[in-house]
Amino acid sequence: MGEAVDAVIRGRLKADRSYGFSFSGGLDSRLLGGFLAQQGIRPQAMTFGNPSDIEMRCAQNVVRALKWPHRQVPIDESAYPRYAGQELDSRHLANGFSCLMLWQDIPGAETCRDGQLTGYAMDSILGADNLCNAHGPQTLVNFDNSFKTFNRWGIDPSVLQNLLTLKGASEAIAWAMDRLRQMYHSTPGEEFQKAWRFGLNNRTRFHTSAAIGLHTTWPWPQIPYMDTSIFEIMGSLPFASMNGRRIQYTLLTTRYPDLARLPLDRNQFNIQPLLTRYHPTLDRILYSGIERAYRWEHRLRGLRGERRYYYRLIDFNNPGWKRVRRQAEPFRDHLHAIMDCKRLNQLWPAPDIALECRDAIIDSSKAKLLTGLALWASRYL
């Protein structure tokens, strides 16, 4: 696999070209960074967020080790209503309505004239992390669990049936579910291979693609691991090799151990490196202490002390999203015409009511989708 990625990079990218790189502190960015640095490619690394973010601090360590230029790009939450308009006018809810902050302008992006590199979707392609229960036993991989996993970003069909008051809504939902089942089961291969391809054809295509930057404010994306040769290798591997992002972990720890010894952002408070940095015991004490400190700060300060980039910026109760919710509220009646009022209000609370959910990133998606639908209806209906 490593040789295949090397070959794709050699064929697509050149060391004397000018690239940007949307660089996070996670596994995908540093693995791609290792591949690029090995071939003498030095992009302009860009990390979104605040200096105090866990992701920013992890990214700084990796970029410093790679000896690349690094730019911090703060997110302007006051511009969320503008981002919402851009999202609606360009994609019309085809990719959901969750990641408005990705419309943030990148100062100096025009200097990266040869493209914008990114690690988005690497976890789904090389890591097979879009497998339902990707870190569990193969016996739990099937259509129902795959759909349940991805549908957390949308509205459950049974909830949608009770929500919609349109004539024929139940039949339309049943038809859509049948189409999805046919898509899944008509895919060749074993069950886990069907699930992997199903994830690529749906969540990766319609959700993750929205984060790759296919819009006018970024340079054209360069994604060297998105290649038929990579898909062919991944599609031929056994479940044990795909499970739990094993390939990515193995590539990073064996090919780029220095990067694997740096703190790793997992979108959690735990930043312990994949490989021992100092000494096993010292690492355990150090990083468990850091994790506890982050957790205590979060409990004491709430959203104001949120150092996890995505949890802060995608939170439906943050200042930026509240602006969008207030903008959409006058158009709630547009949805009352096709939806049950009581059930709609339960799924989509008014702007002054905090949305309580288990996962502020995933489980708030349905409320965001309804917010976007109200705004879209106000523009196009």
Closest C-alpha among 101, 97, 55 to residue 319:
101
At 215 the pLDDT is 45
Contact (CB, 8 A) for 128 and 138: no
pLDDT over 50 (residue 81): yes
Mean pLDDT computed over every residue of the chain: 91
Token pair listed for 282: 């010292």
- Higher-confidence residue of 25 and 218: namely 25
Token pair listed for 33: 């960074």
User: In angstroms, what CA-CA distances link 218 with 19, 140, 265, 297?
Assistant: 11, 39, 24, 34
Place of tokens 């004539």: 167
At 140 the pLDDT is 80
- Higher-confidence residue of 139 and 206: namely 206
At 214 the pLDDT is 52
Closest C-alpha among 127, 97, 162 to residue 28:
127
At 47 the pLDDT is 94
As a whole number of angstroms, the distance between CA 80 and CA 87 comes to 10
- Higher-confidence residue of 69 and 305: namely 69
Place of tokens 């069909």: 157
Flag the least confident range among 16-30, 123-137, 151-165, 356-370.
123-137
At 247 the pLDDT is 93
Contact (CB, 8 A) for 8 and 229: yes
Phi, psi torsion values for 168, nearest 5 degrees: 85, 5
Taking the CA atoms of 305, 44, 12 and 210 in sequence, report the sign of the dihedral they define: positive
Per residue in 85-142, pLDDT (tens digit) is: 999 998 899 888 988 988 888 777 777 889 889 998 899 999 888 775 545 666 788 8
At 321 the pLDDT is 97
Flag the least confident range among 9-13, 38-42, 299-303, 376-380.
299-303
Token pair listed for 376: 């879209």
pTM of the entire structure? 0.92
HSE-CB of 139 using CA atoms within 13 angstroms: 0
Query: CB neighbours (10 Å) of residue 110?
Result: 9
> For 162-183, what is the mean pLDDT?
96
Per residue in 211-247, pLDDT (tens digit) is: 776 544 667 888 999 999 999 999 999 988 888 899 9
pLDDT over 80 (residue 2): yes
Residue 151, H or E segment: helix 143-151
Token pair listed for 170: 């139940």
Contact (CB, 8 A) for 243 and 135: yes
Could you tell me what percent of the chain has a pLDDT over 70?
Answer: 96
As a whole number of angstroms, the distance between CA 21 and CA 10 comes to 17
Q: What share of the chain is helix, strand, coil (3-state, %, to 5)?
A: 60, 5, 35
